Amino acid sequence: MIRALLHILYGMYLTNSYGLRLKLTKDPKKKKRLRIAYSQAQLDALGIKVKVKHPENLPNDGQYLLVSNHRSVIDPLIIELALKETNLFGLWVSKKELYNSLFFGLFVRNAGAILIDREKTQMSGFFSEVKKGVQEGHSIYIFPEGTRNKTNEPVSTFKEGSRIIAMKNRLPILPVYIEQNADEILRKSMREGIKEQEINIVIGKEISYRTKGDLELLYKEEFRLI
């Protein structure tokens, strides 16, 4: 209990410290460096290492819709470290709970994010913000499941919005897959003090926005999840 509390307090310190530093810059390159440094500091404190599989599939430049499975709050950190040697910079699609969160709010609002409010009946404002981000030269990073997957399946149902983003903005799709359940690994670190854990993230092959078929199915086929 004490160990977990200490992790939470240190995590909150890092999140708000980097959130303030991010607030002071508009430069995407500086934001990327700060996001990577933050991700590294958080995972180092937890004793978690990230291993990238098939790095040859990682583009160095360009604009993409990055899609990933989602089980844990540390998934964005894993993805940031997987992309650290590239010049890619993406705006994270973030739900409003994170924007207003005492823990994550300051960081999320300043790190480069687009708010999605699924309670709204009209999503035109969201898609306009996505278009603006793409026109400014950024990629878009999204968890197409919409929320953390708490089922026993490796991937839960994808929302339709991801495919729409790719098609409307003519963005090639970069699929990535976090092999382990990062939430279980996080729990072992915080509650049991288990260190030197490793998480593998697999980089899939680019999918054209023109490719026919259901994105969820294409994603599962790429990572042999069916």
pLDDT at 32: 98
Give the chain as a 3 state SS string: CHHHHHHHHHHHHHHHHHHHHHHCCCCHHHHHHHHHHHHHHHHHHHCEEEEEECHHHCCCCCCCEEEECCCCCCHHHHHHHHCCCCCCCEEEEEEHHHHCCCCCHHHHHHHCEEEECCCCCCCHHHHHHHHHHHHCCCEEEECCCCCCCCCCCCCCCCCCHHHHHHHHHCCCEEEEEECCCHHHHHHHHHHHCCCCEEEEEEECCCECCCCCCCHHHHHHHHCCCC
Give the separation between CA 112 and CA 28, rounded to whole angstroms.
8
Q: Which residue has the higher pLDDT, 5 or 82?
A: 82
Residue 222 pLDDT exceeds 90: yes
Per-residue model confidence as pLDDT tens digits over 133-145: 999 999 999 999 9
Per-residue model confidence as pLDDT tens digits over 120-133: 767 888 999 999 99
pLDDT at 10: 86
pLDDT at 105: 87
In the chain the domains, ranked by start, together with CATH numbers, are: 2-222 (3.40.1130)
Mean pLDDT across 144-171: 94
Mean pLDDT across 83-108: 90
When pLDDT is cut at 50, 70 and 90, the band that residue 98 belongs to is confident
When pLDDT is cut at 50, 70 and 90, the band that residue 97 belongs to is confident
